[in-house]
Amino acid sequence: MKIKKILPIILLGALTADASLAQEKQPLFYLKVYAGDGLLTPGADGLRPGSVFGIENGSTGTYSYSKKGLGAGFINGLGIEKPLGKTFSVGLDINFLHGKTLRSNYSVYPPPTEKINSISYTGSSSYSVTAFVPNISANIFQKHGYAIYTRLGVIIATKITNLNTERYDIEGSGTTPLTESLDQVNKYDVETGLNTAIGARFNIYGPLKGTVEISDNILSVSPKSSHQYGFISEGYDVLIDDNITYIKSNSGVSTSNSAATGNNIGGGSITAIDTKPSFQQHINNVAVTVGVAFAIK
Partner 1 sequence: MRSKPIILSIVLLFLFVQHSFSQGKSSKISINIYGGYGFLNASGDYFTTTGDTHSGANNGNQSNSTTAFTRTKKALGNGAHVGLGISYALNNFMSIGIDADYLTGKKNASQNIPADTLTGSFNSSHSVLSIIPNVSFKLLNKSKYHVYNTIGIITAVQTKFDYTYNGQQAANQVTDSYKYHYGSNTGFKDALGVQIDVARNIQVFAELSGYFLSAKPTSLSAVLNQSLDGGNAMQVVNLNVSYKNSGSFNYQQSTTDGHVAVTNASYNDQAPTHHFYSIGLNAGVRINLPY
Residues that bind partner 1 in the complex, under the rule CB under 8 A: 42-46, 48, 52, 55-57, 59-65, 67, 69, 87-88, 106, 108, 138, 140-141, 150, 152, 194, 196, 198, 216, 218, 220, 250-261, 277, 280, 282, 284
Q: Is 113 exposed, middle or buried (0-12, 13-18, 19+ CB in 10 A)?
A: exposed
Least distance from partner 1 to the Cβ atom of residue 57, Å: 4
The CA distance from 177 to 156, in Å, is 46
Task: Residue 27: count other Cβ atoms within 10 Å of its Cβ.
Answer: 18
| Comparison of 68 and 204: residue with beta carbon closer to partner 1 | 68
For residues 196 and 225, which CB has a smaller minimum distance to partner 1 in the complex? 196
**C-alpha separations of 129 from 73, 77, 116, 246 in Å:** 11, 11, 41, 20
Considering beta carbons, is residue 43 or 172 the nearer one to partner 1? 43
Sort strands 88-99 and 237-247 into parallel, antiparallel or unpaired: unpaired
Q: How far is the CB of 247 from partner 1 (least distance, A)?
A: 8
First to last CA, the chain: 38
Beta carbon of residue 249, minimum distance to partner 1 (angstroms, whole number)? 9
Residue placing its CB nearer to partner 1 in the complex, 23 or 251: 251
Tell me whether residue 14 or residue 218 sits nearer to partner 1 (CB atom): 218
**Residue 52: CB minimum distance to partner 1, A:** 8
In degrees and rounded to multiples of 5, residue 200 shows phi and psi of -130, 140
Minimal distance in Å, beta carbon 170 to partner 1? Answer: 16
CA distance 204 to 15: 9
Q: For 72, phi and psi rounded to 5 degrees?
A: -75, 145
